[in-house]
A and B are shown apart, each in its own frame.
Chain A
Amino acid sequence: MYLSLSHLEKSYKDPSGNNLKVLGPINLSVETGEFLCLLGPTGCGKTTLLRILSRLEQADGGKINMGSGRLGYVFQQGALFPWMSVESNVIFPLKASGTAGGECRSRAEEMLNQVGLYEFRKNFPHELSGGMQQRTALARGLVTEPELLLLDEPFASLDTRTGISLQEMLRNLCGRLSTTVIFVTHNIEEAVFLADRIVVMGHRPGKIVRDEILDMKWPRNRLSSSFTEILLSFRRTFEKLVDPLTSSLTEGKESEL
């Protein structure tokens, strides 16, 4: 087991100074090499959980047991450094981890080759398309060969076709590196396509409402009946979360606004 969380909780102060509980209690364990998708509606605390795991924020309560290996993080908008070229962006985390100069360059070039950006290594982020920027971000996240890779809706702002090709690329790269992955998304199809295991989080305060290991082999066919069946099953769960009012009314019950 690479990671285990027990009774993890997080609250924020709202503008009136009241405590607003956004997360928890969360109990979760993640196996080494597992590709886990955290699925949930907007505002359910998925990103907060990721930020706690990356130590960008502190939990208010609970316990985190995590391997002490390298960590990679891919942000929703890439968060590339605009003053650096693609190559320098990818080299940057290697420098931070103390890798020698020559090795930095060769590893960055290898990673850029894998994401198909070697020819664009001298370009700056603003000269790239959204998909290429996210590929650079992926390369930067994976170049240190992290033991844990956290991704916060990295493909949310991309068009469907680019998103799908990047999903395949991500899955292949992570499989090759045996990286443990926690991938946050609110896109059900993306989660079903990518994940070994899907954890669905409910509305604020975010709690786990469904945790399921997917019984599907890789590579996955989006048109297969098993894929569609799982997709629909998660869609039903998700719709209830998005609007409890809708689901209860559909079932013929009254609901308090």
Chain B
Amino acid sequence: MKGEIVHDGDIISFTGRFNIADMREVTSSLEGITASETILNFTNCKSIDASIAARIWSVSEAKKRKGISLLCQSMNTDIQKTFARFRAIDNRSIAPAPKRTLLYNFEDIGDRVLATWDTVSGLLSFTAQAFRALFSGKVRGPITAYYMEQSGVMAVPIVIALNWLMGVVLGYQAGYQMKQFGGELFMPALLAYSICWEIGPMMTAVLVAGRSGSAFAAEIGTMKVRQEIDALEVMGFNLYGYVVTPKMIALLIVMPLLVTVANFAGMAGGLAAGGFFLKMPSAVYIAEVRKALIPFDLYWGVVKSFFYSTIISVTGSYMGMRVRGGPAAVGKATTSAVVVSIFLVILVDALLSLVFVHLRPGLSL
């Protein structure tokens, strides 16, 4: 028997069986209610499905906000049970999104600023706690070695490949431009400076953020979702010491090595580009590089890598720790870890560049 709705003054009677096909009729009947108190009579109603119950529930909530009450009467047990399923639903998930007024836009901006501030202050506080644990706790050797292998040894091939290719591209493009003015002999120096000062450390940081930062966030986020972090906390473990510092220590050890490897791979790429495209003998390329570089240039990459490794390990761990809810939150944390890490790496790189020009011997503005 199909559902039928009868209006009788302030009483709306539902008769028969209602399902999703009756949605339009139910919605228009309920939304047309203007009386301050209306009775919904279910005496002759056999059943309603979940979609109709949800609609009655959401419309009644919307009406309630306008001061209009809907009172239910004479439901059979099945209908009562169907309604009971929606009792726990938060009405905001059913109600439409608020209209985007000018005030709403300002509030939205304010909310975003506050949320960003929350993240920044949380990250700073997390970093402080992580350093405290780093200097006060004991080192978990085996697990630190595991992360060193995962983040360092396993990353060597991709770091070499990417930086070698960057060296080839830079060497070829710089050499090609310079050759037009007969200055191809300056290519090795230009390339060595670019690689050691910027490209090597930066590319390595981006790669490690993508590989390890995301892995840290996913690992800790999954532990959060599975309540393993809660279990550790209840047992009295220092979470920073147990979960975060092995990752920090591992990156602090392997990143300088990776950056050094990256620098040499990049310069090797330049050597290949010089030999292949500019017909530059290897001995000339190497001599020019040695003439241009001083040990400070190689140390500088190592110094930068300490900052980058701290940023990547702490940001990845922090984003993992912030996970609330289910697996979807882990995915978001992973994305945030990579995006925020790379942003902070570039920001710190810019600040370090300001310091660099004052520190490097033989470089003046």
Chain A positions near chain B (C-beta within 8 angstroms): 14-17, 41-43, 51, 54-56, 71, 73, 75-77, 79-81, 92-93, 96-97, 242-243, 245-246, 249-250, 254-257
Pick the contact of A254: B71, B80, B235 (CB < 8 A): B71
> Is B73 at the interface (CB under 8 A from chain A)?
yes
Number of A-B contacts (CB under 8 A): 80
Min Cβ gap A130→B in Å is 14
Point out the residues of chain B lying under 8 angstroms from A97, CB to CB. Answer: 235-236
Point out the residues of chain A lying under 8 angstroms from B111, CB to CB. Answer: 17
Min Cβ gap A58→B in Å is 13
Which chain B residue lies CB-closest to A44?
B88
Point out the residues of chain B lying under 8 angstroms from A79, CB to CB. Answer: 226-228, 230-231
> Is B70 at the interface (CB under 8 A from chain A)?
yes
Contact with A along B78-100 (1 / 0, CB 8 A): 00110110011000100000000
Min Cβ gap A115→B in Å is 17
> Is B329 at the interface (CB under 8 A from chain A)?
no
Bound Cα distance A250, B69 (Å):
20
Pick the contact of B234: A16, A41, A56, A77 (CB < 8 A): A56
Does A56 lie within 8 Å of B233, measured CB to CB?
yes
Bound Cα distance A81, B61 (Å):
44
Point out the residues of chain A lying under 8 angstroms from B80, CB to CB. Answer: 243, 245-246, 249-250
Pick the contact of B69: A14, A17, A93, A256 (CB < 8 A): A256
Bound Cα distance A5, B235 (Å):
22
- Interface secondary structure of A, over-half rule: loop
Bound Cα distance A246, B83 (Å):
9
Point out the residues of chain B lying under 8 angstroms from A249, CB to CB. Answer: 72-75, 80
Min Cβ gap B240→A in Å is 15
> Is B335 at the interface (CB under 8 A from chain A)?
no
> Is B237 at the interface (CB under 8 A from chain A)?
yes
Pick the contact of B88: A16, A42, A255 (CB < 8 A): A42
* Other A-B pairs, 11, CB within 8 Å; known A79-B228, A245-B84: A55-B233, A77-B227, A79-B227, A93-B235, A97-B236, A249-B73, A254-B72, A255-B71, A256-B70, A257-B40, A257-B83
Q: A254-B71, A256-B70, A257-B72 are in contact. Are A73 and B234 (CB under 8 A)?
A: yes
Pick the contact of B87: A76, A243, A254 (CB < 8 A): A243
Point out the residues of chain A lying under 8 angstroms from B83, CB to CB. Answer: 243, 245-246, 257
Bound Cα distance A257, B48 (Å):
16
Point out the residues of chain A lying under 8 angstroms from B72, CB to CB. Answer: 245, 249, 254-257
> Is B60 at the interface (CB under 8 A from chain A)?
yes
Q: A16-B92, A79-B231 are in contact. Are A96 and B84 (CB under 8 A)?
A: no
Q: List 20 A-B contacts (CB under 8 A).
A: A54-B234, A56-B234, A71-B234, A75-B230, A79-B231, A96-B235, A96-B236, A242-B84, A242-B87, A243-B83, A243-B87, A249-B72, A249-B73, A249-B74, A249-B80, A256-B69, A256-B70, A257-B57, A257-B70, A257-B83
Bound Cα distance A55, B233 (Å):
9
Q: A75-B227, A75-B231, A257-B57 are in contact. Are A96 and B88 (CB under 8 A)?
A: no
Point out the residues of chain B lying under 8 angstroms from A245, CB to CB. Answer: 72, 80, 83-84, 87
> Is B39 at the interface (CB under 8 A from chain A)?
yes
